[in-house]
Amino acid sequence: MSHRIAVIPGDGIGKEVMPEGLRALEAAAARFSINLNLEHFDFASCDYYLEHGQMLPDDWFEQLKDADAIFYGAVGWPDTVPDHVSLWGSLLQFRRRFDQYVNLRPCKLLPGIKSPLADRKPGDIDFYVVRENTEGEYSSVGGKMFEGTDREVVIQETVMTRTGVDRVLKYAYELAQSRPRKKLTSATKSNGIAITMPWWDERVVAMSGSYPEVSVDKFHIDILTANFVMHPDWFDVVVASNLFGDILSDLGPACTGTIGVAPSANINPEGTFPSLFEPVHGSAPDIFGKGIANPIGQIWSAAMMLEHLGHPEAGQAIVDAFEAVLAEGDEAILTPDVGGHGTTESLGRAIAERITG
């Protein structure tokens, strides 16, 4: 069996870190005898937009829908294409049309990387944020009336469906169940948002019956953000609505140091459509062309992709490899953001060699 992977580097440093992501992916595939069929696409980039006047070809859905996964770099080149055009015209189309209703981000403090939180060391921070990615506060229900008058009024409704909430909770419970600590934390705000959030809490309790081994707690979002900073060691899997998850999934990785190493997954768990794996960072125009972008965010995304495709041992080998290279701390190899004077390629090659063993 072969996995069909759509490879889309996108813009800026996406084009620099993607080759290193592929180097790691191919090293792991070779070591674990995984058959990959990589297909390269130049769309979903601002270069494509400048040539064609749109971010995607009309038949993009047909071209991508049968892929087993999409491996993405970064999108955005604000000097030539406004960010809302490049983002809405590409990534957000994929997330919606491929019903990638789970946004998953690991928050893990790695060896050799300094946390902005004082005195935190590897092992202290190691959790996942599971964000609902399709509904909730980010809805298109609402409108404006009496525009431009004193009576001007704007309304935007939160939409939570039992289908939408239960399926993301199920994913989070399953993930918690699979981890040693088996702990789930739910982000709520049932004291202030007194209709949807108490209902969210009820759904969390209803689902808990199916996962007796998982211990569950909940925090209001305000104190939860404080606890991410003060007690990051408390968390194992954190599940949240779209808006709360958006905030937590930036705050969590921020607590673990450089943005260059953080990965993310947009997942359609049933596999009806391809899931998408990408680094958290953007196209970084300020460093593009210098060859110094940290490739670990892209490489870690490859590890998440292999795990999703049913090869957890291959994913783990990639994670072990970059953790070992970071722990060694060879400044000639590491990129400047993690204290070295090496290049995207020197770090990528060192990791790939480690994977090969």
Binding site for Mg ion (CB under 5 A): 246, 250
Is residue 101 within 8 A of residue 168, CB to CB? The reply is yes
Task: Write down the least CB distance from residue 200 to Mg ion, Å.
Answer: 20
Question: β-pairing, 263-267 with 275-279?
Answer: antiparallel
Got the DSSP string for 27-87? HHHHHTT-EEEEEE---SSHHHHHHHSSSS-TTHHHHHTT-SEEEEEE---TTTS-HHHHH
Q: Which is nearer to ligand NAI, 199 or 291 (CB)?
A: 291
Among ligand NAI, Mg ion, none, partner that 246 touches (CB below 5 to 8 angstroms by kind): Mg ion
How far apart (Å, rounded) are the C-alpha atoms in residues 348 and 302?
13
275, β-bridge pairs: 69
Rg from Cα positions in the chain: 21
Interaction partner, residue 282 (Mg ion, ligand NAI, none; CB < 5-8 Å by kind): ligand NAI
74 binds ligand NAI (CB under 6 A): yes
Least Cβ distance, residue 209 to ligand NAI (angstroms) = 37
How many helices and strands, by DSSP H and E, does the chain display?
A: 12, 12
Nearer to Mg ion, 250 or 337 (CB): 250
Q: Which does 294 bind (CB under 5 to 8 A by kind): ligand NAI, Mg ion, none?
A: ligand NAI
* Among ligand NAI, Mg ion, none, partner that 207 touches (CB below 5 to 8 angstroms by kind): none
**Which lies closer to Mg ion via its Cβ, residue 174 or residue 250?**
250
278 binds ligand NAI (CB under 6 A): yes
Q: Choose, by CB under 6 A, the member of 21, 136, 245, 260 that binds ligand NAI.
A: 260
Contact 308, 275 (CB under 8 A): yes
The b/e string for 142-159 (b: 16+ C-beta within 10 A; e otherwise) is: eeeeeeeeeeeeeeeebb
Q: Which CB atom, from 68 or from 246, has the smaller least distance to Mg ion?
A: 246
Strand partners, 7: 40, 71
Assess 326 for contact with ligand NAI (CB under 6 A): no
Residue 281 binds to ligand NAI (criterion: CB under 6 A): yes
Nearer to Mg ion, 106 or 315 (CB): 106
End-to-end CA distance of the chain: 25
Minimum gap (Å) between residue 276 Cβ and ligand NAI: 10
Q: Which of residues 286-315 bind ligand NAI (CB under 6 A)?
A: 286-287, 293-294, 297
Burial 9-20 (b: 16+ CB within 10 A, else e): bbbbbbbbbbeb
Phi, psi of 351 (to 5 degrees): -70, -45
| Residue 21 binding ligand NAI, by CB under 6 A | no
* Residues of the shown chain interacting with ligand NAI in the complex, contacts defined by CB under 6 A: 13, 17, 74-76, 78, 83, 87, 91, 259-260, 278, 281-287, 293-294, 297, 337
